[in-house]
Amino acid sequence: MTDRIALITGGAQGIGRACAEALAEDGCRIVLADVKDSVTDTAKDFGGTGHICDFGDATAITALFDKIEAGIGPVSVLVNNAGIAMPGDFLEYPLDDFRRVLDVNLIGTFVATQRAAKTMVAQGIKGAIVNMSSINAQVAIPAIPAYCASKGGVMQVTKAAALALAPHGIRVNAVGPGSIDTEMMAGVNANPEAFKRAMSRTPLGRAGTAREIGDIVAFLASDKASYVTGETIYVDGGRLALNYTV
């Protein structure tokens, strides 16, 4: 993937950073975007550029693509990784929180996918888009209803986009992580009982690493996955296959 421009959203840390690392090793030119100021320094680790962007703001997303295209060139690999959870009690879950999660996780993914695809189609780029879904597209946790809804939506947007863009040679896939050792799992890691419970439903008996997600993303973005589109690959240590816990 030498010199392909890869934009990774939510790239300041965790899975986003791991995706950048894997894609950089495969030769991509890295562009990171995140709501956090640290994205600029993270991008420098890969010889790339970092941009601050709120992926709950559709106008900011389109402006980001305009800036990247004007300053660097067209994006040929897009990794839609930006996401938030905002847990809360189901019966008291604020509607504003629900909308905010959908804005970032689902609508932001759609807007970025659509905007990237427009340039790919216009310039004849046979690009690759990888969206970050979750096992919570298939199973649910009551304390994160908006997150579950958004990731199920990402799975379906991935399929719809794959069908729409296939005639242009643009592939769209998703990755569905299980329990991954990132900042989002820090609370579970710090609680021995919660960690034990999480591992009881994970047949491999451990949390995954961010780099294990990054490697799958890099595979889907590469020509090694040239006949793969519309799929969600679940990287969950066997969790979705599990029939019972002991």
What is the set of active-site residues? 147
At residue 242, φ and ψ (nearest 5 deg) are -75, 130
Torsion, Cα 231 155 178 239, to 10 degrees, reads: -70
Separation of CA 151 from chain center: 10
Q: Residue written as tokens 């690493």?
A: 209
Q: Which residues contact 6 (CB under 8 A, 6 or more apart)?
A: 20, 23, 28, 29, 30, 31, 75, 76, 77, 78, 79, 221
Cα gap 159→162, rounded to integer Å: 5
Cα gap 140→148, rounded to integer Å: 6
Query: Could you please report the per-residue DSSP string of 143-154?
Result: T-HHHHHHHHHH
Cα 242–Cα 183–Cα 233 angle in degrees, nearest 5: 40
